[in-house]
Structure 1
Amino acid sequence: MRLSRYFLPILRETPKEAEIVSHRLMLRAGLVRQQAAGIYSWLPLGQRVLSRIERIVREEQDRAGAVEILMPTIQPADLWRESGRYDDYGKEMLRIVDRHERDMLYGPTNEEMVTEIFRSYVSSYKALPLNLYHIQWKFRDEVRPRFGVMRGREFLMKDAYSFDIDEAAARISYNKMFVAYLRTFARMGLTAIPMRAETGPIGGDLSHEFLVLAETGESGVYCHKDVLDQPVPGEGFDYSGDLDAAIAPWTAYYAATEDVHDQERFEREVPEDKRLHTRGIEVGQVFYFGTKYSAPMKATVAGPDGVERPVHSGSYGVGVSRLAGAIIEASHDDDGIIWPDSVAPFAVGLINLKPVDEATSAAAEGIYERLTKAGIDVLYDDVDNRAGAKFATMDLIGLPWQVIVGPKGIASGEVEIKRRATGERETLTIDAAINRLVAG
């Protein structure tokens, strides 16, 4: 993509309303534009990041056996009345009356709707286990939206819903999502710690939040320091294998959010030099809630004995849009964002220091063409601007690699490459530079 044809509205000044690093950098780097309190337009660079986060989430859900669907954002209130949650949910739910005087709502979550879909089509235990997920925009009318996309009112979320014959089977589904989440966040360069958490309006008595530790986080957390160093199941993980063993390294240590924290247990189980009390950014949460929705909504299946019984369910959320902010909070420096390779909007920022120079532009064009043909996403700065402004923009938007093409280097057949994460620079021939970038 040529910068001269792209839409990248960079802000040189820090917006006054931005309280935390990710909010400041997302506005300055032209990822988002605030339209109202807690509501953002995602501009081209931000949309590319969202798409890459979505891809990783989707790949790991599919690998764990979940099946993708897409449910509507507007839901009939009657479904929520069936479950008993319509009056209980609170003012975060945006309630709507359509032109026919029917009560509707902008869905903050989808337990009722997916349960209605399930009961319409599944009647036998032979169709179980089943896990349905989608990636969808949601709305919760936060009383105080702040911190940019970290606590917005409209947000993109992956939510999955499992259905099983009994609690034992449902725990297996829960553990699958637990592992899938560990893998998902690790692929984004994040260490997300699973912690025992309050179930809130979702319900049930078992839940873990996955939190990225950060002082700017909204949740207080308490944990054993060793939980930070536990292994994430690798690429060849077998979801039909021993799931309890896979999550045991994470659940063996004390780790809890402030809502369920037990100070006496914390002091009893965690040596003083291993105690960590900090804050965290929630990027995902998993719930097991048994028959909370299936019983009142009569979502039953016939078991092996022919007896009808309500299914056991769980739900599993990942904050897709929130992850963009969480990644920035975890990966930035004074100059701007440092995107991990897996979610970067472009892999390479190609900087033409002197577009008016024929030899320099010819070399830059050739590099752009060769990298693009190799399947590498390149943002090519072909705009006639000061070198300092070009460098500042590339550092701000945080692409993993920079290729710097200038008249002096081209006279010697060389270019400079820079690794954004480390600041390491190297002068190479054009062929060597391209080979380095293609090899990763």
Structure 2
Amino acid sequence: MRWSQLYVPTLREDPADADAVSHRLLVRGGFIRQLMAGHYSLLPLAVRVRAKIMDVIREEMTAIGAQEFVLPALHPAEIWQRSGRWEVMGEEMFRLRDRKGADLALGMTHEEIFTVLSQELRSYRDLPQMWFQFQTKFRDEARPKSGLLRVREFTMKDSYSFDADEEALDRSFALHRAAYERIFARLGLPALAVQASSGSMGGSASVEFMSPSQAGEDLVVRCPGCGYAANTEKAASALPTVEDGPGLAAPERFDTPDARTIDELARLHGVPASRQIKTLVYVVDDALTLILMRGDHALVEQKLADTLAATALRPATPEEIRAALGASPGSLGAVGVSNLLILADESLRGRTDMTTGANADGVHLRGVSVARDIEVDRWADLREVTAGEPCVQCGTALEVVVTIEVGHIFKLGRKYTQTLGVSVLGPEGRPIVPVMGSYGIGVERALASVVETHHDDKGIIWPAAIAPFEATLTVLGTDTPVTSAAESLYRDLRAARVDTLLDDRDERPGVKFRDAELIGIPYRITIGARGLTTGTVEITTRATGETESVPVTQAADHVRKLLTTA
């Protein structure tokens, strides 16, 4: 490809609204342009990178025996209603009606649609099946941001496995996990495999692949000692044992008119946050529920949802709280409450001499013994793990890392096959319901995540496997001997199967060099009159900045060898 014919609208200044590094560099490098919030046009350079990423994914999926499909992006509401997710997906699902008034949805994911296809499977002998596709997905993100990292329209590689039983699903899951590890290694994308929640997808085992980056929005807890890693929605830690005093014979009321928060109670009344019981009120599937946490701990809502298998939850309104407990937030507690479901975090189990709200505005209770004074219906790990807490497996201090989710795999079980009526004849001639897995990679998010990992102050540094071009041939000058030598070398590079961009523009050398560094092509071959006097060209490695002189006649083979060892 000749640069003079390629559309690469590079910019000298950073876009004003770009927060993430990848957003800034992909816009400046002429890879993407925003149409509206959460929707981006991919320009020629980005299309080339995207295609190479998809080729890597396709090769690894095919290697484990997966077959490629292309399913519709527009779905009838009826299938989503049958699975129960029409309501569960909430406002993130784009819904519309056709001219006949039929309810439709733009697909957020394709579990339901692939499951409907699987209804044509007849026998356990047809299993296992692993099916995948590349398809546009739509999610009505409330706050799209960071360029391609959080958008409302994107390409997903989603795959689905159908197996006869759980043991076979374990094999399909393991095959996908290994394939994902190879994919991210080939993309040059560091990715931690961590325990995660399945969320609205349902199912049991769930593993996220998380790439460390300050542009991320997900926190991963990991142990440098034993390798334990989990999303904060799933992570646990081993808290030190707390020695409580005997406390009082019964809870004692005391006035706290000026204390409505954990911090105010600690500062004004000398009650450490670790000795307070924080009472949160949620509406979980239309039922008012009390959540008890230690005062210095934060609730993870996904843990609450997973514990109760909730399809919908939200914080209760002040009006709902006052109607149920007779007080406003800041003075709430569970002592004496018997008409509401009460969940307590494990950190409160066995605690005595604690302080909590008295369900009267401006009043608290001291000397509370959890086991004696509160009717806890259910105990669970509900709190957010923080850095420095001991690992549950080896006791090493845990780290908390900011990450981007680049892949997610689930064991779905029979959630969809059972609901949508899929069965096959088993070995004994009786119907059995296949068990499913679901596996996803966001293609454009992976592209942006690579940029987050591979860049410097000059621009992007693409790994050779997915770079828009493997090399750029930069021509300095317009003299006939230079242009003729450049054309000859360009032909040699193409013959050596080096994906090359010939920079034949009538621009100053500095402009050409800056543009090549900005768009991040791995190798720059510079050809000019000075070098040709000695029969050499300069080859610069983008990642290291190192430059070496190579005979013109050997340049194509030299670059080919560099790419082979990259």
Q: Above 0.5 in TM-score? A: yes
Q: Does 1:262 align with 2:236?
A: yes
Aligned to 1:248: none
Whichever residue aligns with residue 198 of structure 1, its letter is S
Counterpart CA distance in 2 for 1:362 and 1:73 is: 50
Shift of 1:270: 5.8
The secondary structure found in structure 2 opposite 1:156 is: strand
Alpha-carbon distance between aligned partners in 2 of 1:30 and 1:314, rounded to the nearest angstrom? 38
Instruction: Quote the residue 1:86 is aligned against.
Output: 86
Extract unaligned runs of 5+ from structure 2.
Answer: 240-388
Provide the residue aligned with 1:218 in structure 2. 217
Contact in 1 for aligned 2:225/2:396 (Cα 8 Å): no
Unaligned runs of 5+ in 1: 228-252
The 3 A distance-change label for structure 1 pair 382 and 153 is: same
What is the aligned partner in structure 2 of residue 20 from structure 1?
20
State the distance in 2 between where 1:318 and 1:396 align.
Answer: 26
> What does 1:349-388 correspond to in 2, within 5 Å?
349-354=472-477, 356-388=478-510
Q: Which residue of 1 aligns with 2:272?
A: none
Name the residue aligned to 1:246.
Answer: none
Quote the sequence identity (%). Answer: 41
Aligned to 1:278: 401
**Mapped contact 2:454–2:462 kept (Cα < 8 A):** yes
Give a deviation string over 1:7-45, Cα, whole Å, max 9, x none. 111011100111010000000011111101010110000
What is the aligned length? 413
1:406 deviates by 1.3
Quote the Cα distance in structure 2 between the aligned partners of 1:127 and 1:272. 47
Whether 2:517 is the aligned partner of 1:400: answer no
The 3-state SS of whatever aligns with 2:418 is: coil
CA RMSD of aligned residues (A): 1.3
**SS in structure 2 of the partner of residue 263 of structure 1:** coil
1: CA distance, partners of 2:152 / 2:236: 31
1:202 matched residue in structure 2:
201
Q: Which residue of 2 aligns with 1:346?
A: 469
Matching residue of 2:174: 175
Structure 1 residue 333 and structure 2 residue 307: aligned?
Answer: no
Mark the CA change 1:437 to 1:268 in structure 2 (over 3 Å): closer, same or farther. Answer: closer
Using the alignment, how far apart are the partners of 1:224 and 1:368 within structure 2?
50
Runs of 4+ in 1 over 4 A off after TM superposition: 270-274
Check the 8 A contact 2:391/2:397 in 1, yes or no.
no
Paired residue type of 1:188 = L
1:288 Cα offset (Å) = 0.5
CA distance in 2 between partners of 1:135 and 1:226 (Å): 38
* C-alpha contact (below 8 Å) 2:391/2:398 kept by paired residues: no
In structure 2, the CA distance between the partners of 1:436 and 1:164, relative to structure 1 (3 Å rule), is: same
Tell me how far apart the structure 2 counterparts of residues 303 and 346 of structure 1 sit (CA, whole Å): 51
TM-score by structure 1 length? 0.92
Q: How far apart, CA to CA, are the structure 2 residues paired with 1:430 and 1:80?
A: 62
| Contact preservation (8 Å) 2:467, 2:521 | yes
C-alpha separation in 1, matches of 2:441 and 2:92:
19
Q: What SS is found at the alignment partner of 2:90?
A: coil
Q: Which residue pairs with 2:555 in the alignment?
A: 433
**CA shift for structure 1 position 310:** 1.5
Deviation (angstroms), 1:166: 1.2
**Residue 261 (structure 1) shift:** 1.4
1:279-326 deviation per Cα after TM superposition (whole angstroms, max 9, x unaligned) = 111110000011101111111111111111221101000111111100
For residue 438 of structure 1, give the secondary structure of its aligned residue in structure 2: helix
CA shift, 1:83, in A, is 0.8
Distance in 2 (CA, whole Å) between partners of 1:215 and 1:224 is: 19
Between the aligned partners of 2:19 and 2:238, the Cα distance in structure 1 is 35
- Provide the rounded CA distance (Å) in 2 between the counterparts of 1:386 and 1:185: 38
Residue aligning to 1:298: 421
In 2, the alpha carbon distance for the partners of 1:262 and 1:274 equals 12
Alpha-carbon offset, residue 224 of structure 1: 2.0
Q: Deviations over 1:62-121 (max 9, x none)?
A: 0011111110110111111111111111111000100011111100000000000001x1
In structure 2, the CA distance between the partners of 1:43 and 1:125, relative to structure 1 (3 Å rule), is same
**1:271 Cα offset (Å):** 5.7
Distance in 1 (alpha carbons) for counterparts of 2:391 and 2:159: 36
- Deviation track 1:324-344 (CA, whole Å, cap 9, x = no partner) reads 100000110000000001101
Alpha carbons of structure 1 residues 156 and 174: separation in structure 2 relative to 1, 3 Å: same
| TM-superposed deviation, 1:124 | 0.7
Other structure's SS at 2:444 match = helix
Provide the secondary structure at the position in 2 that maps to 1:293.
helix
The one-letter amino acid paired with 1:100 is K
2:437 equivalent to 1:314: yes
User: Normalising by structure 2, what TM-score?
Assistant: 0.72
